Amino acid sequence: MKLYEYEGKLLFSKVGIKIPRGIVTEGNIDWKGKAVVKAQLLEGGRGKRGLVKVTDDVNSTIQEMRKLGINKFLVEEYIPHDREVYLSMILDRDSAEPMLIASPHGGIDIESSGNVKKFIIPIERGPRGYDIIEIEKYLGVKGLSQVIQGLYKIFTEFDAELVEINPLAVTDNGVIALDSKVILEDNALYKHQDFLKEIGREYSPDSYVELDGDIGIIGNGAGLTMATMDMVKLMGGNPADFMDVGGGADRERVRYCVIKVGSNPKVKKILVNIYGGITRCDEVALGIVEAYDVIKKPIFVRLVGTNEEEGWKILKEHGINFYENPIDAVRDALR
C-alpha cells in the first residue's frame, strides 16, 4: 500500500522525525504567510509537473491545481534551508537485512545523482551509534540519530517496503523532512489496522469473498481453499465464504482471518484446511485458539505439515476438533 505524503508524515511524527507544520485540505483555508501547496497523489514527480508550489496566495494556488483534477492538498509552512540530503530505507535482497541509502544531494534529481552510499543495518541489532556517526560523516550533517532510528522503526515495525525522505532539509534548527514516500507491505496490513483507521483507510484482504452459505471456509492457498469449498458442496453443505490466509501465515494473520469469517452472522461453523509447508502448524493453531476465544463458534481444523504435532497439541488442549484427513473434517462440520 502506497501512502500519501501526509500519511507518511503522520508516521514520521510518531517516530520523532521532525516535519513542517501543515494542514490537509480539499478546498480554501485560512492561511497567512508563505506556504508550500502540494497536490496529494500516489505518484512521483509532482515537483516536475508543477504540483508542488511555493506561494504567498494559498487559496489561488489550490484553485489552479483543482482545475487539473486534484482534490486533496497538503499545505505546509515554508522552511528556509541551505542544504538538502536524501535518506531512505529498503530491504537489501542479497543480505535480507534493512539497508539505509544516503546521498548528500537530495531533491527532484536524486535519480541522476551518482553520489549515493548504502549502509546495511542488521535487523538483530538495529542502528547503533557508530552507524549514525558514519552516515553523518558521509553526508556532512550532524543530528541524524532521531531520523535514522525513526526510519528503521517504521521499516521494521510497520512492515514497510520503502521509507524515503527526499528531501531532508538541513536548517539552523536541525533537520526537517520536507517530503515522505512510504510503501507498506500489503500482506502485513492486517497488523496495522489501528493506523489504517487513523488515516481513514480500511483493511480488507483481497482473499476474502462472502457467499450465501453457513459454513465458514478458510484455507492456505487458493487451490486448497477452492477444493475445500467443493468438498463442502459435494457433501451437502453450503460455503459461506472464500478465505485464503496465504503462504507463511503467522498467528496474527490466522487470528484475523478466523475472526473475519466467524463474525459473519450467517456462519454457524468454521472449517479450516491447512497444509503447512512454509506455514507452521503451531502458529496456525495459536491463531485459531486466540480467535476461538473471541467468536465462540465451532471450528473444525484439518492441520498437517510443518510442526503438525505441536499444532495438534495446542488445539487439543483447547478442545478444538482437529483432523489429518480433510474429508473427516468436512463430514463432522456438516453434522
Annotated catalytic residues are 86, 164
Q: How far apart, in whole angstroms, are the C-alpha atoms of residue 237 and residue 230?
A: 9
Q: How far apart, in whole angstroms, are the C-alpha atoms of residue 192 and residue 199?
A: 11
Q: How far apart, in whole angstroms, are the C-alpha atoms of residue 108 and residue 166?
A: 8
- Where does residue 143 fall: left (phi above 0), alpha (psi -120 to 50 degrees), or beta otherwise? left
Contact between residue 177 and residue 12 where contact means Cβ atoms under 8 Å apart:
yes
- SS3 (DSSP) at 80: coil
Cα distances (Å, whole numbers) of residue 76 to 12, 114, 129, 164, 269: 15, 30, 32, 19, 52
Measured over the CA atoms of residue 124, residue 130, residue 132 and residue 138, the dihedral's sign is: negative
Paired with 158 in beta bridges are none
Please state the separation of Cα 168 from the chain's center in Å: 23
Pairing of strands 241-243, 208-210: antiparallel
Looking at the chain, list the stretches that DSSP marks H as alpha helix, in order from N- to C-terminal side.
5-14, 58-66, 129-139, 145-157, 193-198, 222-234, 251-262, 281-295, 308-317, 326-333
224 C-beta neighbours (distance < 10 Å), count: 16
Cα distances (Å, whole numbers) of residue 207 to 53, 222, 285: 41, 8, 20
Q: Based on the number of CB atoms within 10 Å of its own CB, is 94 exposed (0-12), middle (13-18) or buried (19 or more)?
A: exposed
- SS3 (DSSP) at 167: strand
User: And the C-alpha cell for 43?
Assistant: 505518484
